[in-house]
Chains A and B, each alone.
Chain A
Amino acid sequence: MDALTVPTREVDLATTPLRTLNALLQGREVTGETPLGADEGVTVVNPRGAHAVAVGLDAPRQVRVAGHVGYYAAGMNQRADVVIEGNAGVGVAENMMSGSVVVRGNVSQSAGATAHGGLLVVEGDAAARCGISMKGVDIVVGGSIGHMSAFMAQAGRLVVRGDAGEALGDSIYEARIYVRGEVASLGADCVAKEMRPEHLEELAALLKAAGFEDDDPAAYTRYGSARTLYHFHVDNASAY
């Protein structure tokens, strides 16, 4: 859907309560407010770092947030496409199921935590624990990520165009990580792996979806699970 062609409503968080905004976006009735049309987009102005902006959406709707947001922005998103034109605090797009969340700035820790699906794009840097316990989401970070990212990542793909902090992919399951820059250290049971043709292909598709199609996929290294900690073995006790 072209953002220029859909009708768009502006909601000003300086004058509209956050609960009203979220109720409208979630399709609930709000006294005194006209419900959003099926394809009506929403522009949120004056977010001023508020928490829980545009959470719990479950409709194919375009939402643009003009400014910085606080914690858990666009959490639990399903089907909606949310663009945050600023920075986001802790837990942006946590537990996303589908749709997309794009952050033009930087994000704090636990971006995309536990998310099952959809695409999270962070054009700047992500702090610690990016993609912690990710369960199927695709995350593309334009800059670098902090320590303990992809901790216990179960499924999905994490792409990092910059560097990764300490203990990347600790106790990782079947998520795949692609990093172009340096990795400060790998967590327990996370190892570098060969880039086979199918990996170059899926990375190229992810970079294109995130708007970084000019990157050379061959410049990235793939990381994933060595699968030595899947089943308890007494010799590995110190690795847990």
Chain B
Amino acid sequence: MCGIVGLHLRDPALHPRLGELLTGMLCEMQDRGADSAGVAVHGDPRWSPAGHVTVSFVPEASATGLGSGTTDAEAVAALTAALGSPVEVVDAGPTLVAHVPAEVGTDALVAAVRATYPDGLVAGFGTDLAVLKGVGHPRDLAAAYGLPAAQGWQGVGHTRMATESAVTPGGCHPYAVGPDQCLVHNGSFANHASVRRELRAAGVEFDSENDTEVGARFVADRLAAGYDVATALKELTTTFDGFYTLLVADRDSFAVVRDAIACKPAVVAEHDDWVAVASEYRALVGLPGIAQARIFEPEPERIYAWTR
């Protein structure tokens, strides 16, 4: 099954409540699968402080605990040595979030993380984005991440019932493979092996055998080529075969698309102060002003996108 949730806050007064609201949404979807759960948050001042670039990573990609297996002090020392300049690290349970001044650059920090943790997983990177992944129950993981205290303008989450690949942090959504981008998926892609082969032939590298990662790499590839999110998703609908409700976000936009058959659920609630998406309505019940929101089910193969 899997459950997906997303919240795009239009009213800055709600930004301090992003993590609290997203935690409630994510935990309500635990019945749809609880073998792992991940979140991506845009704009948390602790994880991704202004003027810095951020890389989220799991030091040991096969880890299944609620901790990262290393301390933030150890990570600071190792990454500072690898980079040759100071690195700050925030402990977020199974995931660590490193940041450096923006002028150092994302590529340099990603390279330092990969060199320091060759068996690790880079979960996400960019100027505003933290991506937290782990294995376990969404309730335990939300606490381990420190999600209830998170702030920001946008967040997506996913609670997983694995079907297409192993239960590891690498199989945990969101997939955040381009700068400040992330994607969550409910469903399964049937032709992911073929699309992965084509992307590999074009030079794209993969972290896992997961079907959703192929979708995320495809979208990132198109965005890198200059497409906007809506156009990239339109091409995805004609390239991918299978079942999907996808929620795709980057630092400025938030988009939903369902496959032509539309058997995977999605409910959108649009309010003056926010836009929210979830697999089921009950995940939206706790949002402020839900009774005033316009609630609808996205139509198949239609791209719904919101920008800030």
Q: Interface on A for B, CB 8 Å cutoff?
A: 48-50, 68, 70-71, 87, 89-90, 106, 108-109, 127-128, 146-147
Contact = CB atoms under 8 A, between A and B. Distances in A.
13 contacts: A48-B285, A49-B281, A49-B285, A68-B281, A70-B282, A87-B281, A87-B295, A89-B265, A106-B296, A108-B297, A109-B263, A109-B297, A128-B300
A48 B282 CA distance: 6
Interface residues of B, number: 16
Contact of A108 (B265, B282, B284, B299): B265
B300 A147 contact: yes
Nearest to B278: A49
Question: Which 10 residue pairs are nearest across A and B when measured between Cβ atoms?
Answer: A49-B282, A49-B281, A48-B285, A127-B297, A68-B281, A128-B262, A49-B285, A70-B282, A108-B297, A48-B282
* Chain B interface helix/strand/loop/mixed: loop
A105 to B, nearest CB: 8
B285 A70 contact: no
A166 to B, nearest CB: 9
Interface of B: 261-263, 265, 267, 280-285, 295-297, 299-300
Contacts of B265: 89-90, 108
Nearest to A127: B297
Contacts of B261: 128
A49 B265 CA distance: 14
A87 B299 CA distance: 16
A109 B267 CA distance: 12
A70 B262 contact: no
Contacts of B280: 49, 70-71, 89
A116 B284 CA distance: 33
Contacts of A87: 281, 295
A48 B283 CA distance: 9
B204 to A, nearest CB: 34
A19 B255 CA distance: 37
Contacts of B299: 146
A70 B281 contact: yes
A50 B282 contact: yes
Given A48-B282, A106-B295, A127-B297, 13 more contacts: A49-B282, A49-B285, A70-B280, A87-B281, A89-B280, A89-B281, A108-B265, A108-B297, A128-B261, A128-B262, A146-B262, A146-B299, A147-B300
